[in-house]
Amino acid sequence: MSHSSPYILVLDQGTTSSRALVFNMENGAVLGTAQQEISQSYPRPGWVEQDAAEIWETQRHVAREALRESRLSGLDLRGLGIANQRETIVLWDACTGRPLYPAIVWQCRRSAELCEELREDVAWTEEMRRRTGLVADPYFSGTKISWLLRRPEMSGWRARMEKGDILVGTIDTWLLWNMTRGGHDTDTTNASRTLLFNIHDLAWDDFLLEKLGVPQGALPQIRHSTDSFGETCADFLGHPVPITGVMGDQQAALLGHGCIGPGMIKNTYGTGCFLLANMGAEACLSEHGLLTTVAWSGADQTCYALEGSVFAAGSVIQWLKQMGFVATAGETQSMALSVPDTDGVMFVPAFTGLGSPYWDAQVRGTLLGVTQGTRKAHIVRAALEAVAFQNAALLEAVCQDGGFSARVMSVDGGVAQNDFLMQFQADIMDIRIERPASAEVTAWGAACAAALGSGIWENMSDVVARQGTQAFVAGINEDKRKSLLEGWQRAVACARLY
């Protein structure tokens, strides 16, 4: 491997697919890319699972395919970076590497009753929020692990976990363990989503581990986002490659947008929506239902972010297809534009509850205002508008917590390619939305972390955002905006009463 090599391989493991990209860090060019879909299962209402072995096999396959397409070898790579779906957990046998249970996906709500029980202890819940920046919700990894360990059939697992015979980790840890054949590590951004991690001390927290009953012996070692995570085994890519950057996908997108200064905001429109605002070196706690999370960390710097999560965005498009309203995602735009408005129809897409700022795991999807004159186009338009309304609530909370007025928001993700949605989002938020030409913002952020960790770049100021090519500017008056937002608030109130 040449010390001056500018090439970074990124593994972008998401909720619906495993992807890999090879970047030339000198000019940002993508030299090779590959993608393979992964399956999800829904064994019960609100439950979401994946096959951990499938996640690893597909990620290994696309890594080799992307490298082959780039006409490079493992010997040419300066480093490898990981961006991964967060909060999803895997438990596996430390000797065999065999997963012991399906991966429990971040969307899964199976620990809702456990979270209700935790919230009854108000003093503990407040202390937990102070230490983690999070809330007691099924979304987070710790409640999923605790739920598993409370199952009668897993009665012997805790003792094995205490001895390190059973390991647990988020998807980054699962990939690292397989690539290195035994490296049990995670980074601070992923650890900060577990409900087990103290975001001030940057360490696993005994107070939290005891309450949730999670043995520390099963948890990975925590490293900074740009630390060395070891090397891949030679047979993974034909030559050992240093792993030099790991980030949760949403933090990677924040970095990929170049949001390296306080007050800079990005929103990723994927299966869900994830709005993050850079808050600098202060881990300020939200008073409006947002989360405080580690944006990234290095040996001499930790950056925090406020985050709001919308659980249903791309999944709303999937639901429209499932119901037969549209055949493809692309049809949603033309259908929404075929009517001047929703004709009073409102849709609250709470398929797995509502995320921030509501944090209501029990509410379910609700369609309101339907008449005999309602057409498919009205429902499609209402569904797209619902995505924008949820994000508007997030932005308002971010500005209230941060004490600033946001004027620009960078966006990425598959659903962000819908021009109707982006224009409505700009209208309802009264903000300028900037969408970069490249859709590879998350992978680029992981590449940036790996470039910093490998020495290609020296410090955070070297990070270069992907160039924007299209902007959406608000085009409605304040009275119209206020009326639309009040309609959404009434719809959410009705849904929560059901």
CB distance 30 to 440 below 8 Å: yes
Calpha distance 476→368 (Å, rounded): 24
Helices (H), 403-437: 419-429
β pairing state of 346-348 and 366-368: antiparallel
CB distance 266 to 240 below 8 Å: no
List all residues 6 or more positions away from 419 whose beta carbon is below 8 Å from its beta carbon. Answer: 333, 472
List all residues 6 or more positions away from 498 whose beta carbon is below 8 Å from its beta carbon. Answer: 363, 364, 366
Sign of torsion over alpha carbons 203, 297, 226, 81:
positive
β pairing state of 432-436 and 408-412: parallel
What is the token pair recorded at 11?
A: 């593994």
What is the token pair recorded at 339?
A: 């009517």
What is residue 142's predicted lDDT score, i.e. its pLDDT?
96
Amino acid at 305: A
Mean pLDDT by 10 residues, the chain (498 residues): 79 94 92 95 92 97 96 94 96 95 93 92 92 92 94 86 94 97 95 96 95 94 95 94 96 91 90 90 87 90 90 88 91 94 91 80 86 94 94 89 86 90 94 86 93 86 70 91 92 86
What is residue 467's predicted lDDT score, i.e. its pLDDT?
62
| 3 state DSSP class of 8 | strand
What is the token pair recorded at 274?
A: 């994830």
> What is the number of other CB atoms lying within 10 angstroms of the CB of residue 491?
21
Instruction: Name residue 274's beta-bridge partners.
Output: 268, 309
CB distance 190 to 291 below 8 Å: no
- Tell me how many degrees the CA angle 92-96-99 measures, rounded to the nearest 5: 25
* Rg from Cα positions in the chain: 22
Calpha distance 427→473 (Å, rounded): 7
CB distance 294 to 304 below 8 Å: yes
Chain centroid to CA 170: how far?
Answer: 12
List all residues 6 or more positions away from 338 whose beta carbon is below 8 Å from its beta carbon. Answer: 377
